[in-house]
Amino acid sequence: MQRRTFLTGTLLGAAFAAVPLHASMAAAAPVGSLADLQKAIDSAAPGDQIVLANGTYTVPSGGAIRVSGKHGTADAPITVVAESRGGVVLRGERGFVFSDSSNITVRDFAFRQSTSLEIPASCTRIRLTRNDFGFTDTGSGFDWVVVRGDDVKIDRNRFHDKTTEGIFVVVDGPGATAMAQRPNIFKNHFSDHSFSGSNGGEAIRIGFSGRALSSAGAIVERNLFERCDGDPEAVSVKSSDNTIRYNTIRDSRGGIVLRHGNNSRVEGNYLIGGANGVRVYGNDHLIVNNHLSGLSDRALVIGSGTTRDHHTGETAEERRGNDACDRAVIVHNTLVGNARTLSGETRDHEPRSVVIADNLLVGSAGSLVAMGKTTGFTWQGNILWGAAINGNIPSGGYRRVDPLLRRESDGIFRLSAGSPAINAATLASPAVADDIDGHPRGATRDVGADEYATTVPVRRPLTAADVGPNAS
């Protein structure tokens, strides 16, 4: 594939060296104005990379950088890139506007707009990577990035400093009920959302109440959330068939909430030192290998409902309500030192047929288990410890024994040699290949999120060096 790089004027040499171009490209200078950038985009072909010279550019009111009717390929996307990472600052009301396009990558920009960046349903395989999103905080309450197209990737970006209502990243879809398919949101750094209202300040929202029964197949993985205080839900899932895995939420009001929808997986996440943990509504979810510690509010909530199940034909008001948690499997989680460890709720429709097995619950005050009404629950193989009382867990569903946890330098509680949790797991299905650290579980599994090992963890809680524009 022959690739081209667009240039304007006579700037050569060091000016383009700030961006490592593809080996097959001829050395060339960046374009130096928004008008020339637009011309380059309008004439771009698959494999082209368009470089915008460093500087601050203000998009005129009513204007935009339009990507319309442009199609790269999977192997040769059209890429629009800043001369150096973060070296191009885009200001004004609106930045990139996409329509009827595919296989487009936008990389290395600093966005400072005052309206949403939208990827409409007419666009597929759009990628936003290594950008800095710090949109203007106008007080009008808008969502920063809105995804409606399929197969979108949002990776290695930084989203930061929002004080007003609105969400960093929203995944919706076409029409009123469909979902964008297969979005992948990974290795981003979300921080400092300080909206003080009770709702509407999530870091990520996957779906909406009207889309709850639609499958998205979203994967939200390896993101870091710090001081995400704009909503009790840092990751709010309001659709079906999604995976939330290997993320770290630290010192945040928000947690991970399966608010609407069915058949999602919450796996291998670290929630440390914030307020809310994991809250679950809907049917057939798997909650596995999560570590929740030092949370000041509810760590793990098995939700009750204003309705038994969401269904087609219900009213908008019914759909906005909570549907009870049924048939979830909650296994191999470690909960240590939280204000409220495992709890339920008191709505009319109680959770049913939930399996709670092979979890470690350790606390120093209150009750370790404080469930409301339940039906058909299975409790087995759990280990409880600490000064906190057991609560209303059935007597056959646990042992009270010291699991010999040790807190390591990364703040995570892991098993010590000789722990009674080693090889003590009881649940045969579903299969769980590895633990929260990435160590293999083996044929005989340990209780809790950690499988005892003497080797270095493959995965640890994420830091700022692991995510964002400079991440590997």
Sorted by where each starts, the structural domains of the chain and their CATH numbers stand as 60-463 (2.160.20.10)
* Contacts of 12 by beta carbon, 8 Å cutoff, 6+ apart: 27, 28, 29
Residue 93, by phi and psi: left (phi above 0), alpha (psi -120 to 50) or beta?
A: alpha
- Mean pLDDT to the nearest integer, 155-170: 97
CA distance 204 to 189: 12
CA distance 428 to 417: 23
State the pLDDT at residue 317: 87
CA distance 219 to 79: 23
State the pLDDT at residue 28: 53
For 95-109, what is each residue's pLDDT tens digit? 999 999 999 999 999
Cβ(68)–Cβ(100) under 8 Å?
Answer: yes
Chain centroid, CA 139 distance in Å: 25
For 216-242, what is each residue's pLDDT tens digit? 999 999 999 999 999 999 999 999 999
| 403-453-463-82 Cα dihedral, nearest 10 degrees | -150
To the question of pTM greater than 0.85 for the whole model, the response is yes
CA distance 379 to 375: 12
Check whether 141 has a pLDDT greater than 80. yes
- Mean pLDDT to the nearest integer, 407-436: 97
Residue with tokens 């040790």, as numbered in its chain = 406
Check whether 22 has a pLDDT greater than 60. no
Mean pLDDT of the chain: 94
Q: In terms of Cα–Cα distance, which of 259, 122, 247, 238 is closest to 170?
A: 238
